[in-house]
Structure 1
């Protein structure tokens, strides 16, 4: 999407690098998983953890546009999706084999396959064909997300597609991201509600709605890569299965 009026960054304004977003997302994910395993009474941890997935989805799309080879990018994600499955099963189901829920890298990979298909169609410069393909990919992504029981189900796959379809810093793109994430997280996922009183007015806040706060660091990203090296790249990939394995083993040890 394009828009004449853009959310531009001035010289010297604060921004967050690619590396910074990865570290922030990993930290938030760790907080959520600590709540899910070792610290279930600390509910604020999972509230903070709601921000992690939209950042990962956003960075997956950015990675697509910055990679030299989508095939290698997808293959790398596939390898780590497979490596992460047993640690994920141990953490979520307490068993090596847990077929009713798949780890989040599968979710990101499914979304990226949809992005790749849409980007291939877009290059043909036929708007009607792209619109039809977008509808088809959105429907197929939602259905496959549910049937394959990947983490975040349909919402997870659609979140990746949102950051592709509304990619950019135009005001229309930012508004699209906000409205789409609100619909996905609040209207579709819903979940636990927190009663709040402010200035004598009572209302409720949806826990999954905290995911919308992920747009703050996302919008502070302006394309700067920051620190980058081969070891850091693989650290970011390896962090997912390794931290889940450590948490699962720690939980089993404490439950003995």
Structure 2
């Protein structure tokens, strides 16, 4: 793909499918980073920043999927099946110990969809709050933790208004991921101890990359072929299995 094609894509905007492909690419880079690159290398930090693209983009696409699916039951069932399929590969892709609470991102997206559905359908505000709170508790040990549900609820609350969705997402990142400390921290240090020192948690910057990409969302789904529909579900457990095999059985690390 040349520079001209890239410019054309961003000029026409990014569809849901285009966003998914970007998220999948970032996820692969991130997982290769975790599995094979030492943490003290600069490239590890760069790839880690790129990897932050995946979660928020997939949460956004999941909310779009919730509102456009022809069958919510089939959508939920599909998420559940592939969460189960991905359970063992995610368990051992980077670690050698079993932990029943090590839940993958598809499982967490499933909880997010259930939370969105609860917000949309449960009339009693107290029952609604209790159900969503319980779903958030369940999501804590999962990949991205309760942040997944929070972001998905924000995207759903402002569904149909991209500017408000992005503003809500930005506030979640600022309040929950330490960006306030990142930007204001050096000045606080100067006030309290006289030391103007920048924070080293630069990987939080990666959570701003989805914000920039979603600015180009054109409101379209993209190609309706089956490959685009199933690519994330199939690629996720498959690439985890490959990483597991290479890391453990070929490189023995």
Distance 1:88 1:56 in 2: 17
- Decide whether the 8 Å contact of 1:17 with 1:225 is kept in 2: yes
Q: Aligned-pair distance for 1:134?
A: 5.9
Q: Does 1:254 align with 2:251?
A: yes
Other-structure match for 2:86: 84
- Decide whether the 8 Å contact of 1:91 with 1:245 is kept in 2: yes
Map Cα deviations across residues 134-154 of structure 1 (whole Å, 9 max, x no partner): 6445533332222xx111111
Please, which of 129, 142, 150 is the counterpart of residue 142 of structure 2?
A: 150
Distance 1:251 1:185 in 2: 30
Other-structure match for 1:45: 47
Distance 2:109 2:235 in 1: 16
- SS at 2:159 equivalent: coil
Q: In angstroms, what is the RMSD of aligned CA positions?
A: 2.7
Other-structure match for 2:31: 33
- Decide whether the 8 Å contact of 1:61 with 1:112 is kept in 2: yes
Greater helix proportion: 2
Other-structure match for 1:221: 217
Normalising to structure 1: TM-score of the pair? 0.79
- SS at 2:198 equivalent: strand
Please, which of 149, 158, 182 is the counterpart of residue 166 of structure 1?
A: 158
Measured at CA, do residues 211 and 79 of structure 1 come closer, stay the same or move farther in structure 2, by a change above 3 Å?
A: same
Map Cα deviations across residues 21-41 of structure 1 (whole Å, 9 max, x no partner): 010000000111011102234
Please, which of 67, 70, 73 is the counterpart of residue 68 of structure 1?
A: 70
Describe how 1:45-194 pairs up with structure 2 within 5 A: 45-94=47-96, 97-121=98-122, 129=124, 132=126, 135-146=129-140, 149-169=141-161, 171-186=163-178
What is the aligned residue count? Answer: 227
Q: Aligned-pair distance for 1:186?
A: 2.5
- Decide whether the 8 Å contact of 1:94 with 1:248 is kept in 2: no
* Mean CA deviation greater in 213-222 or 136-145: 136-145
- SS at 1:203 equivalent: coil
